[in-house]
Amino acid sequence: MRVLHLFCLLAIVFGCQAADLKWWQTASFYQIYPRSFKDSDGDGVGDLKGITEQLPYLKEIGITATWLSPIFTSPMADFGYDVANLTEIDPIFGTMEDFEALIEKAKALGVKIILDFVPNHTSDECEWFIKSAARDPEYKDFYVWHPGKIVNGVRQPPTNWISVFRGSMWTWNEQRQEYYLHQFHAKQPDLNYRNPKVMEMMKDVFRFWLRRGVSGFRVDAVPHTFEISPDADGNYPDEPRNPNVNDPEDYEYFQHIYTTNQPETIDMVYQLRQVLEEMDQELGGDDRIIMTEAYAPLDVIMQYYGNGTHDGAQIPFNFQLISNLNKNSNAYHYNELINIWLKAMPEGKTANWVLGNHDQSRFGSRLGEDRIDIINTLLLTLPGCSITYNGEEIGMTDVWISWEETVDPQACQSNPENYERLTRDPVRTPFHWNDNNFAGFTDGNSTWLPVADNYKSVNVKRERGITYSHLNVYKQLQNLRREPTFQGGASEVKALSENTLAIKRSLAGYPTYVVLLNINDSVESLNLNSAFYGLSSSLEYVVVTDRSPRRKGDLAHTDSITLMPKEAVVLKTV
């Protein structure tokens, strides 16, 4: 009883603090992949005017803030992640005036704009790199250069390091007569953060966009920003072999202990957070935030939050679910992955949940189309903030794309036999607005990637009119998220059986909610009194899906609840 009493006290304390939460701590974030969201000019590529046009849709579905994949000047070797000018808008997306109009309309609607920030590298067409290759004194050490090593009279790259996009991380530059490092595409040379001038330049990029009204940044590929320091002779060690991979061109052929997750990376994030705090003082208004993309061990991820002396990212992306769940995962696996994050998280920090993005297979394809409502229910009822990838609220799935149609450089640098394992194109296809030509994405005659064949049945216009569509279930859940219990209430997550996951959300003085997810195909009979303390005898259904025989407003007894296969429901105390 003492443990239960303590749990109730903690819930009360947490609830008292709910009014003091920052906007981002319970926010619903939405990632827009700009090339694929909405095309306003008929060229088959999405743009800023298209995003501005559709901002009311984000308001409709309860989005607090949207982060945009890169919109900066770029040769598009990696579709914007190869930035040639960090303070310009690429003409394919529009103009700075278009960006300002986007900010103005977003502000009027109460939707915040987050930009993608790419610190690890620039394009090789960036002025900085051009000057560095020419040994300009100001820029000569802006990138990682090395003369290579001579083996049997032949010049070779300095290490065995393999690029994420296959092949050597080192490319020879004829002008400079040295190799440059690129952890990704050869047209994405790595910046040298051991040169303090680089860090100051990137901080200025932060300041530039913050002064133009953005509410923060999603920081790309953070673990790659530093590699190990060279030795006294300027040389680097080779990385050890991964015995489980046999393709010597594959990124996973080596273990990347010298090129990812170096200690200095954490300090870089702390420095960027200091810039945000300076700008908060200068500009006033709501907190500005950092979201970090880091596929790294859990203990490393937790350091991104801060270290007690320095604050870090408010939202270090939580990839536990996106990286580890599969179609065979049971409720115990879901429970473990959720609670391992909650238990590891430093005191006073905020949880976040990511189930999809532009680099990963859509969760409807990864986990099953019949689990789309289950996953969105999970995403939107866990404590903290949620991140939705555009299209997953309507149930979009991966699109098969032939080798001939493939444009993703990660895949194009492989071959017809292996490209499907590497390509990210299937998750980046145009958004489905309606059942018109090209799903209403464009009025033009083509699209940069093919539109999915199922767009006539999976689209915003159609799903608005279907009571239990994926879209309307998502909107119901977003409405529920505004309730005080979900904003600031305590949470308890547990597996009730191999197939059933439950989330209890409670806050003193407000209704208690129980979320039930039947992940598999059995009929489940549950007694919630044996699982949770202090529930009333009756519960009311407040969210149901098309798999539910119940309807909103129906009552259930806590000692006898039946869940149908793949059913997701939310109940509250009455």
pLDDT tens digits along 203-257: 999 999 999 999 999 999 999 999 999 999 999 999 999 999 999 999 999 999 9
**pLDDT at position 7:** 40
SS3 156: strand
Task: Please determine, for residue 290, whether its predicted confidence score (pLDDT) is greater than 50.
Answer: yes
pLDDT tens digits along 498-531: 999 999 999 999 999 999 999 999 999 999 999 9
pLDDT tens digits along 395-443: 999 999 999 999 999 999 999 999 999 999 999 999 999 999 999 999 9
Work out the pLDDT band at 1, boundaries 50, 70, 90. very low
Task: Please determine, for residue 452, whether its predicted confidence score (pLDDT) is greater than 90.
Answer: yes
Sign of CA dihedral 433, 435, 438, 440: negative
Q: What is the DSSP string of 419-458?
A: HHHH--GGGSSPP--SSSGGGGS-SSS--SSPPPTTTTTS
The DSSP H or E segment spanning 59 is helix 55-60
Work out the pLDDT band at 19, boundaries 50, 70, 90. low
pLDDT tens digits along 85-110: 999 999 999 999 999 999 999 999 99
Partners of residue 290 on adjacent β-strands: 217
Q: What percent of the chain has pLDDT over 70?
A: 97
Question: How many CA atoms does the CB half-sphere of 446 hold within 13 Å?
Answer: 4
Q: Residues near 52 by Cβ (< 8 Å), separated by ≥ 6? A: 98, 101, 102, 105, 106
**pLDDT at position 476:** 98
What's the whole-model pTM score? 0.95
**pLDDT at position 297:** 95
Alpha helices in 126-262 (DSSP H): 127-133, 196-210
Which amino acid, one-letter code, is at 422? Answer: L
- Minimal CA–CA distance to 530: which of 506, 561, 556? 561
CA distance 55 to 110: 10
CA distance 486 to 512: 9
| Residue 458 near residue 452, CB atoms below 8 Å | yes
Which amino acid, one-letter code, is at 325? Answer: L
Which amino acid, one-letter code, is at 500? Answer: T
Task: Please determine, for residue 386, whether its predicted confidence score (pLDDT) is greater than 80.
Answer: yes
* b/e burial code for range 200-219 (CB count within 10 A of at least 16 → b): eebeebbbebbeebbbbbbb
Q: Supply the angle between the helices 470-481 and 372-381 in degrees, to the nearest 10.
A: 10
Across the beta sheet with 145-146, the strand order is 145-146, 178-181, 170-173
Work out the end-to-end distance of the chain between its first and last CA atoms, rounded to an integer number of angstroms: 24
Catalytic residue among 220, 239, 392, 408: 220
Catalytic residue among 124, 178, 190, 293: 293
| Residue 245 near residue 253, CB atoms below 8 Å | yes
Work out the pLDDT band at 20, boundaries 50, 70, 90. confident
Task: Please determine, for residue 2, whether its predicted confidence score (pLDDT) is greater than 90.
Answer: no
Q: Residues near 69 by Cβ (< 8 Å), separated by ≥ 6? A: 31, 32, 33, 34, 35, 80, 81, 116, 358
- Minimal CA–CA distance to 184: which of 480, 408, 482? 408
Task: Please determine, for residue 451, whether its predicted confidence score (pLDDT) is greater than 50.
Answer: yes
Sign of CA dihedral 343, 344, 345, 348: positive
Task: Please determine, for residue 487, whether its predicted confidence score (pLDDT) is greater than 60.
Answer: yes
CA distance 171 to 177: 10
Mean pLDDT of 265-282: 97
Q: Residues near 408 by Cβ (< 8 Å), separated by ≥ 6? A: 79, 422, 423, 424, 425, 428
Average pLDDT, whole number, for the chain? 95
Whether 293 sits among the annotated catalytic residues: the reply is yes
CA distance 558 to 549: 17
**pLDDT at position 31:** 98
Partners of residue 178 on adjacent β-strands: 173
Q: What is the DSSP string of 92-141?
A: TT--HHHHHHHHHHHHHHT-EEEEEE--SB--TTSHHHHHHHTT-TTTTT
Work out the pLDDT band at 3, boundaries 50, 70, 90. very low
How many helices and strands (H and E) does the chain possess?
17, 23
Q: What percent of the chain has pLDDT over 90?
A: 96
